[in-house]
Structure 1
Amino acid sequence: MKDKKFVGNCFGPFIGIIIYQLLFDFSDLFQSYWTSFFVEILIMSFFAFGGIMLIEFLGKNISLFQTNEQENA
């Protein structure tokens, strides 16, 4: 169980940030550098959280770490 959480917490943000970088380009959203910087960090954090949720969702439905007790129940 700890291995599954570790995988989700490590690879989830990585996948979320990669999706953000591939699909969206928010260069200079605002004229102020710091406003653009903080908005981009906020959007990236949403994608990182979404990546964690995606990995957890896929991990619950397609589990490679199932025990015999869970399969028999």
Structure 2
Amino acid sequence: MKNSSSIQAQFGAHLKKLRLQSGLSQEAFADKCGLDRTYVSGIERGVRNPTLEVIGVLAKGLGMDIKELFSFERLV
């Protein structure tokens, strides 16, 4: 994994937190979004860099606006 302060890692950790708060397993969330579970896993671990289109799909899968996916404190 990239260093823990990378924006990818922070975005992934925030996505995982939101997914868990929604009560969704990784597999259920991936299915809901039409994505592969391993791809979602990579995003959550900060090793995959999702496109804007995928970010929109993730937000829709969680039932929220895209801006809510970016509502986290960025650590430098």
TM value normalised by structure 2:
0.31
Normalized per residue, which structure has more helix?
A: 1
- Structure with larger RCO (C-alpha < 8 A, sep 6+): 1
Instruction: Give the structure with higher Rg (CA).
Output: 1
TM value normalised by structure 1:
0.31
